[in-house]
Amino acid sequence: MNLKKIIKKKDLYKEYIKIMNGILQLSYRESEILSLLIIINEQWQPVMSTDYKNILSTDNRKKIMSETRINKNNLSKYAAMFKNKGIIVKNDKGGFEINSKILPVIKNNIIEITFLLEIENE
C-alpha cells in the first residue's frame, strides 16, 4: 500500500512527526517540541571551527520556550524524556542532537517512510 500526501515546506517536520507518532507515541506538546528540535538540528551550521552541534544549548532552549510558551522546568522534562526514548542522543563532542535513525531523508523533495509491522502469535 502506498499513501501520498502533498505538504508545504514550512509544515514538513510537523507533518513528519505526526506520521511517525504512531511509533513514537508522543503527546501533542511533545510532538510540537520535537518538530522544533528537528528544525534546529537540520538547520545547524557551525559559526567557528570549534563549534559543535548542541540542539539543547541555552539559546536553542530560549527559542523553543519562546515559540511554545513552555517554562524551563517543563522543557527540561521533555528533553529528559526524549533522551530516555533515544530520540535525542549525545554526540562525540558532548552536545546533543536528534538520533539519525528518526531523521527524515529527503531526496528530490520526497520523504519515503516504510513501516513494517511484525505480528506476534499470542
Question: pLDDT, tens digit, for every residue of 93-111?
Answer: 889 999 999 998 999 999 9
SS3 (DSSP) at 88: strand
Query: CATH classification of 9-44+51-111 is 2.40.50, yes or no?
Result: no
Provide the whole-model pTM: 0.84
Q: Which of 57, 38, 53, 8 is nearest to 103 (CA)?
A: 38
How high is the mean pLDDT in each 10-residue block of the chain (122 residues)?
88 92 91 94 80 90 94 96 96 92 91 88 87
Look at residue 50 in the predicted model and tell me its pLDDT: 67
Q: Where are the domains of the chain?
A: 9-44+51-111
35 Cβ neighbours under 8 A, 6+ residues apart: 13, 14, 16, 17
